A and B are shown apart, each in its own frame.
Chain A
Amino acid sequence: MGRYQDVFDSLNRAAMIPFFVIGDPDTETSLRIVKTAIDAGADILELGIPFSDPVADGPTIQKADIRALKAGMTPQKALAFIAQVSAYKPIPIGLLVYYNLIYQYGVDAFYRDFKQAGGTSVLVADVSIDDAEEIAPAALRAGLETVFMATPNCPDERLQQVVKYTTGFIYTVSLLGTTGERQRFSTLAKPLIQRLKRLTQTPVCVGFGISSPEHARQVAADGANGVIIGSRLVKIIEDNLNDKDQLYCQLQAFLAETLNALKTVQDDTSAN
């Protein structure tokens, strides 16, 4: 367990935030993957509970969801998984879920149990800021922080709503589209980061399409307080399903390289 602000305060660079699907490709391997990421210097973790119909995700994470579901992952088991991660190291954990999963669990009950497992925030992929009242008060009641998405096509009035409801960090979507690797990093991210920075002191973390250490460095240079890397890491899992040692080794190497890239950018625009 940890608070986001403590992390951002303690760094003089952008935070490295790896994303994984809980239980991909199976619970045991998944736990070792997450521990590898922590050991490689992850500052915050972003973890997803697999869903059968992930409309915000591209093919790489869709396949990870299917692997994890086939291996038997459920929301209950995901909470137990999070407790194990927290026991390994008290690192802030943001959760990414689709609404139906927590709706079926019961939003208040889910947030209470997630908090108890050591979690920090829940981002619901298919709830826009218009429906923040359905989830944000429950998160705060449970003692969680809140995270909402900002996208390049959000007008400033909507960004102000996002700012109003966000206590943790603003999950800033770098592009128009689903999650997934991209050859070139989106040119839409920088103007959005700049618009958000004019509106708020709340940390801005950027995700979607960050596919290389160079992309990560660029986002940090554009002023992001954190860099979320998902599909690129999940692709390493997919490519090494038959060689676990290679899997951990490649993940470790990619994250180490990314961390070094982030360290080359001194963050003078941090939230404080």
Chain B
Amino acid sequence: MKQKGRYGTYGGFYVPEVLIPAIEEIEAAFLQFQNDASFVAELNALLTHYAGRPTPLYHAQRFSEAAGCSVWLKREDLLHGGAHKTNNALGQGLLAKVMGKKKLIAETGAGQHGLATAMVGALFGMETKIFMGSVDVARQNVNVHKMKLLGAEVIPVSGGTCTLKDAINEAMRYWTANVDAFYLFGTAGGPHPFPMIVRHFQTVIGTEARRQCLDQMGRLPDFVAACVGGGSNAIGIFSAFLDDAAVKLVGVEGGGKGLDSDHHCATLNKGRPGILHGSQTYVLQDEHGQIHDTECISAGLDYPGVGPEHAYLKDTGRASYVAVSDEQVLNAFALLTRLEGIMPALESSHALAWLLAQKGTLPPDIVAVVNLSGRGDKDIGIVEEHRPIN
């Protein structure tokens, strides 16, 4: 490997020896092409004309009244595919293409990354396999159907809690036997070089949002909030504000049924440093280091690890990480839907829920940007289950 992939003491590439040549190959290609003029031009053209960038920054005035401060939404829900995942899938898919790869594999939780990968597989004519926990296959069946329509093979994974963690395990196992495939990793975690690559392709969210703040408000926001599972949408928007010391960065984790229960996925709040999926980072685990099962209403956040850069940002204090409960999330989902006519993904609803919980503690002239990382169509079944409409 050319680089160590460290964020402070976190990160690295703890994988079986057999996978090293595969990640070395991806690292080398990324370092070669990330600033290559024709690669960048092709990616930018795709982001603009295929995916619909830039996405708007929208001042949600009715929601602002409910939250008691000025709330602006970075509308990644409007991106082709319905979530920020398309940014990374296009970037890595293009990388796979210039590397001459013919096969894509990916893990998915909520199905948004799987969907984005399936779209890119269709676009570039590549064989695509998506590994997805069997529990997630059931609760995100709309996305499963979409992936299949796009020509991807969806492989349900049973094992563990049958969610994102287990999908990553199985994708890594498949990769060790098929090192010629390109593993299109979906979140800013896993072994180096993935945290670096995913951050790079998601930085466009923050770069746009920062410029839009200056253009539309003439100032930077006081807060930037984003949900954190693995943390790709959060690192994407945070990255552009890291040097703006006055901008507070808030990552919101899945508090599930409560942080004192065993039913949450709030890794940075309740985990401790360890090694999972190739990365040294915060991990939800028992006293012996066995990885904990997680439980969260949002499949996309339901993961016992987190991207290593978030672990670093937590320890250095540059970002703070909080958690909200499933109940708060459902309330936030309902509120944005009814007040703004925007149906947010349950993942993104975590960031909205945190903001709502701050009501009364923040002066009304406070400006908060929330990364609305995805749209909620995929979640209406889950919402119906918890809050039936009579």
Contacts and interface: CB of A to CB of B under 8 A. Distances in A.
A101 B288 contact: yes
Contacts of A125: 16
A185 to B, nearest CB: 15
A130 B20 contact: yes
Contact of B18 (A52, A100, A176): A176
Interface string B148-160: 0000000000011
B167 to A, nearest CB: 12
A100 B276 contact: yes
A130 B1 contact: yes
Interface in B11-59: 12-21
Contacts of A151: 16-18
Nearest to A101: B289
A127 B1 CA distance: 14
Contact of B176 (A53, A129, A177): A177
Nearest to A208: B18
Which residue, of B21, B172, B277, B289, has the highest number of chain A Cβ atoms within 10 A? Answer: B289
A88 interface: no
B277 A100 contact: no
A109 interface: no
A57 B169 CA distance: 10
Interface string A94-117: 000011110111000000000000
Contacts of B134: none
A75 B287 CA distance: 10
A148 interface: yes
B16 A56 contact: yes
Nearest to A54: B169
A100 B17 contact: no
B59 to A, nearest CB: 43
A264 B79 CA distance: 66
Given A104-B285, A178-B177, A53 B16 contact: no
B210 interface: no
A190 B18 CA distance: 17
Interface residues of B, number: 33
Contacts of A214: none
A75 B21 contact: no
A219 interface: no
B176 A56 contact: yes
Contacts of A155: 21
A100 B274 contact: yes
Contacts of A129: 17
Which residue, of A74, A155, A178, has the highest number of chain B Cβ atoms within 10 A? Answer: A178
B179 A150 contact: no
Given A55-B173, A176-B179, A100 B21 contact: no
B16 A103 contact: no
Contacts of B18: 56, 149, 151, 153, 173, 176-177
B18 to A, nearest CB: 4
Contact of A128 (B15, B169, B178, B289): B15
A49 to B, nearest CB: 9
B177 A176 contact: yes
B316 interface: no
B289 A100 contact: yes
Interface in A164-220: 173, 175-178
Contacts of B278: 126
A154 B12 contact: no
Interface string B263-283: 000000000001111100001
Given A53-B160, A99-B275, A154 B21 contact: yes
Interface string B137-167: 0000000000000000000000110000100
Nearest to B170: A55
B290 A52 contact: yes
A176 B16 CA distance: 11
A54 B16 CA distance: 11
A58 B16 contact: no
Contacts of A158: 17, 20
Nearest to B159: A62
Contacts of B276: 53, 100
A103 B275 contact: yes
B259 interface: no
B339 interface: no
A105 B289 contact: yes
B178 to A, nearest CB: 8
A128 B22 CA distance: 13
Interface in A133-177: 148-151, 153-155, 158, 162, 173, 175-177
A51 interface: yes
Interface of B: 1, 12-21, 159-160, 165, 169, 172-173, 176-179, 274-278, 283, 285, 287-291
24 contacts: A53-B160, A55-B16, A62-B159, A75-B289, A98-B275, A100-B283, A101-B289, A104-B287, A104-B288, A105-B288, A105-B289, A126-B14, A126-B15, A128-B16, A128-B17, A129-B17, A130-B13, A131-B12, A149-B18, A151-B18, A154-B21, A176-B177, A176-B178, A177-B173
What are the 8 closest A-B residue pairs judged by CB atoms, nearest first?
A: A177-B177, A104-B289, A151-B18, A149-B17, A52-B290, A100-B289, A100-B275, A56-B16
Given A129-B17, A149-B16, 13 more contacts: A52-B160, A53-B276, A55-B15, A55-B173, A56-B176, A75-B288, A100-B289, A126-B275, A130-B1, A158-B17, A158-B20, A175-B177, A178-B173
Interface of A: 51-58, 62, 69, 74-76, 98-101, 103-105, 125-131, 148-151, 153-155, 158, 162, 173, 175-178
